[in-house]
Amino acid sequence: MKNRTHFPHIYLGVIMVFMYLPILFVMIYSFNGGRSAVLWTGFSLDWYRELFRDSSIFDALINSVVLATLSSLCAAVIGTLGAVGLSRVSLRSKGVVEYLSTLPIMIPEIILGMIFLVFFSLLGLPFGMTTLLIAHTAFCIPYVLMQVKARLVGLDKSYVEAAKDLGAGELRAFVDITFPLIRPAIVSGMLLSFAMSLDDVIISVFVTGSNVNTLPIKIYTQIKTGVTPKTNALCTLMFLATLFLGLLSMFIGRSRKGSNKQPDATTNLNINEETGG
Amino acid sequence: MIVSMEQVSRPKRPARDRMSLIAILPLYVFTLLFVAGPLIYMLVLSFLSRAEVWGVVNQFTFRNYARIFEPIYLKTFGQSLKLAFTSTILVALIGYPFGYFMAKLSPKWRGRMMFFLIIPFWTSSLMRLYGWIIFFQANGVLDSILMGIGLTSEPLKILYTYPAVVVGMVYVLVPFMIFSVYSSAEKLDWSLVEAARDLGAGAVKAFLTISLKLTLPGLLSGVVLTFIPSMGLYFIADILGGNKVLLMGSLIYEQLMKAHDWPFAAALSVVLMVMTSLMIYLYRRVTKVKDLEGLI
């Protein structure tokens, strides 16, 4: 209770405002009337109208959503199976493979983009959706793998043992016990993967074909060639979509806390009591 | 035949192991083919020669590595390092207090703050950088404000300068630091700090000897997570710095996409990769933690 100042709260507030400031600028200027992306000339919805007329942006959006969906699904399957499997085998190669599989989010994106570009052309793969999917899956797997792995560590093994004692086979025990318990980790890993895939510019620029655009690539070229309020409108809509996804994942996260995160809740309570008293 | 079938199905272990092996198969195949494969090829490529016009010749050489020491590339390297250091220090100065203060909030507010942090973090970094363009552009928001209150009489023209790139870098990377510090500070046993205070330590001393020491893994993990990307996030320098600020990342991009000198790009990547690995290795040695704190 002693020396209580409001400095921490003010600090948190100020930095948080800065986090949202650029987003706010983009949103405000998306309603700007004039040609200029910078000078304010009055409210209008023209750029949204223009945006919806541009079919190339719509194509890029479809590409991005399809890509993000597919790569997060692939990552979910490979990552979940991998994490569960790795927790139960004792292979000497385990450590190395685990390290390698999480490497894509550890190394600078530019390196990942570069090695994919040269490797895919070595293999002779056609650049486009296939190469994008492989590259995106590669950097999505770590998110799922690490989340599921962390969840498995905290899992009470006696549930699975109990199921087996009651006669459940290996597969049955997984489907009925392990899977529901790790599902929140899979979902949050997938959502993170989805968001990361949807946002990726660097790696996509390297591995995309000349006629396949994703939304971030499209925006990147637009920003580089000159800013138009249309880009503002597009970004605003994307932000609203992100907000929706965020709320959705928070909702899922909340129901997870309610169901089986009791130990965490109690430790949080303890900390709270200690600091409060 | 029947006997052997029974032998397989009766004892639990072989069946279990076989299923686990099948489960890890996709991960093994994918990782070896699409992570290890490209990495090894990058290493091989960095020792090959470039062809006259386009492509690669299978001729062993050290020339690609020697070229890095040419003044123009050394300068880029230095510039890149300077920017990475500047951004990392600023990110630590801004992000550490944030993560630390956030961990002191009530659980309810911690959750809210986390949510408010994740939203911009998930929002396209391009869009957020684009917002800074609007802010910095000549006669843009910043100039209007400054000229409006009479601080300056003419546009500052901050866009396409070094400071603009630093702001963009710090802005994009600060969440990584916050998440890392927060996940460390959240686990901090505050009663230790209380105890130090009760035993007569001042606020500063209690912070330095207890809090800072215990949140060091988070801080260091944040440093790694900031420093590594800041060497490669060429598009920030590209968008906010124009062509004036050339980074390692931009250099690799240019060599790869414009000069078509793949072996040289590979050599540059190998150097960057070695530096990255070294940082992660050092981090693990210092903190004795295997995974980077707050990465997920």
Residue given tokens 């994490």 in the structure block: A83
Is residue A277 in some structural domain?
Answer: no
Contact A115 B229 (CB under 8 A): no
A233 pLDDT above the threshold of 50: yes
Using pLDDT thresholds of 50, 70 and 90, give the confidence band for residue A229: confident
> In this predicted complex, what is the ipTM?
0.81
Is residue A18 in some structural domain?
Answer: no
pLDDT for the residue B291: 58
List the single best residue of A5, A11, A19 to mutate versus B (max B Cβ within 10 A).
A19
pLDDT for the residue B25: 94
Residues 147-186 on A with a CB inside 8 Å of B are 147, 150, 164, 170-171
Let me know: does B270 contact B43? Beta carbons within 8 Å. Answer: yes
CA distance A247 to chain B (A): 8
A116 pLDDT above the threshold of 80: yes
Chain B CA closest to residue A37: B134
Burial (CB count <10 Å: 0-12, 13-18, 19+), residue A16? middle
- Compute the average pLDDT of residues A168-186: 87
N-to-C CA span, chain B: 49
Contact A271 B42 (CB under 8 A): no
Residue given tokens 């169901």 in the structure block: A259
Is residue A227 in some structural domain?
Answer: yes
Q: B-chain residues within 8 Å CB-CB of A122? A: 41
Chain B CA closest to residue A90: B17
Domain boundary assignment for chain B: 1-45, 62-287
Higher pLDDT, B24 or A210: B24
Residues paired with B57 in a beta bridge: B49
Q: What number of CA atoms fall less than 13 Å from residue B83's CA on the CB side?
A: 32
A262 pLDDT above the threshold of 50: no
CA distance A182 to chain B (A): 15
pLDDT for the residue B9: 43
Strand, helix or coil at B245?
coil
pLDDT for the residue A25: 86
- Compute the average pLDDT of residues A57-76: 93
CA distance A82 to chain B (A): 4
Q: What whole-number distance in Å separates Cα of residue A99 and Cα of residue B291?
A: 10
Q: What whole-number distance in Å separates Cα of residue A218 and Cα of residue A206?
A: 14
Is residue A43 in some structural domain?
Answer: no
- Compute the average pLDDT of residues A40-61: 84
Is residue A125 in some structural domain?
Answer: yes
Please indicate if any CB of chain B lies within 8 Å of the CB of A106.
yes
Contact B20 A85 (CB under 8 A): yes
pLDDT for the residue B6: 42
List the single best residue of A2, A31, A47, A110 to mutate versus B (max B Cβ within 10 A).
A110
Is residue A189 in some structural domain?
Answer: yes
Tally of structural domains, chain A: 1
pLDDT for the residue A255: 61
And the tokens for A70? 């597919």
pLDDT per residue of chain B (296 residues) written in tens, 0 to 9: 444 444 444 444 445 578 888 999 999 999 999 999 999 999 999 999 887 766 788 888 889 999 989 998 998 888 888 999 999 999 999 999 999 999 989 888 988 898 888 888 778 888 888 888 888 877 777 777 777 777 777 777 778 888 899 999 999 999 989 988 998 888 888 888 888 888 888 878 888 888 888 888 889 888 888 888 888 788 888 888 877 777 888 889 888 888 888 999 999 999 988 888 888 888 878 877 655 555 54
Please indicate if any CB of chain B lies within 8 Å of the CB of A19.
yes
CATH number at residue A252: 1.10.3720.10
Higher pLDDT, A261 or B125: B125
Contact A271 B12 (CB under 8 A): no
CA distance A57 to chain B (A): 15
Is residue A77 in some structural domain?
Answer: yes
Chain B CA closest to residue A25: B131
- Compute the average pLDDT of residues A245-254: 71
pLDDT for the residue A39: 67
Helix-strand-coil percent breakdown of chain A, rounded to 5?
Answer: 80, 0, 20
Q: Which domain does A175 fall in, by range?
A: 55-261
Q: A-chain residues within 8 Å CB-CB of B132? A: 22
Residue given tokens 């000349």 in the structure block: A210
List the single best residue of B130, B132, B223, B262 to mutate versus A (max A Cβ within 10 A).
B130
Contact A239 B28 (CB under 8 A): no
Chain B CA closest to residue A165: B12
CA distance B168 to chain A (A): 10
Chain B CA closest to residue A268: B107
Return the CATH architecture of domain B62-287.
Orthogonal Bundle (1.10)
CA nearest A78: which of A143, A171, A126, A129?
A143
A108 pLDDT above the threshold of 60: yes
And the tokens for A194? 């989805």
And the tokens for B272? 């960057």
Contact A147 B228 (CB under 8 A): no
Chain B CA closest to residue A242: B123
N-to-C CA span, chain A: 8
CA distance B170 to chain A (A): 11
